[in-house]
Structure 1
């Protein structure tokens, strides 16, 4: 069993916990929906226009992605005048995103995961 500094003794997850976790990973499987919370972790409290410019996408598309992330509890928003200001304030979300990206970028020797965009490796 691999131990990490964040590991704690926890009971076995229920089927519902695993379904919910899979839903979070599915939601984050769209690169833009992974990029938005990552960007917010490094540049907190931005509105949709600033986020759209940062990730190179159109405001309506970013707004829809943020709505999905917000419903899932991965980002939060507060109203400031007519704007919604987005942030990531759950430390679990921060750890999840940082850990998965560290896992991918940690070693150039690690094989690239096979997925819909990468295709099979041979």
Structure 2
């Protein structure tokens, strides 16, 4: 029997497994942004940014609002920002060496 929510969490981590999508989420987490602003900030092509944003929207990580012809993307909630910040803190902290590894003379 699988614990409730594990499949959804696995899908979330699969989507977060892209460096490009993580970067977009960090930018959007700082403040809502349009596709054009995200293209400028990342140097990615407009179609690629749009594709990543579509994926993020499909899994409920971002929301959109429209003003005229511009679509602005925002984080759906702050949980994902915390997950990303915790992951970055984890990979940047020093890790103790494995105590069971023996060095050879």
With the shorter chain as reference, the TM-score category is 0.7 to 0.9
TM superposition shift of 1:36: 0.5
Distance 2:53 2:26 in 1: 12
Once the 2 structures are TM-superposed, how far is the Cα of residue 89 of structure 1 from its aligned partner? 3.8
TM-score, normalisation: structure 2: 0.82
Residue 104 of structure 1: CA displacement? Answer: 1.4
Residue 57 of structure 1 aligns with which residue? Answer: 44
For 2:75 and 2:49, locate their aligned partners in 1 and report how far apart those are by CA, in whole Å: 15
The Cα shift of 1:48 comes to 0.4
Quote the RMSD (CA, aligned, Å). Answer: 1.6
| 1:76 equivalenced with 2:63 (yes/no) | yes
Structure number with greater CO (CA < 8 Å, separation at least 6) is: 2
Q: Which residue does 2:22 correspond to in 1?
A: 34
**Would you say the 8 A contact 2:63–2:74 is kept in 1?**
yes
Gaps of 5+ in 2: 97-105
Deviation of the 1:110 alpha carbon: 2.8
Structure showing greater radius of gyration is 2
Q: Normalized against structure 1, the TM-score is what? A: 0.71
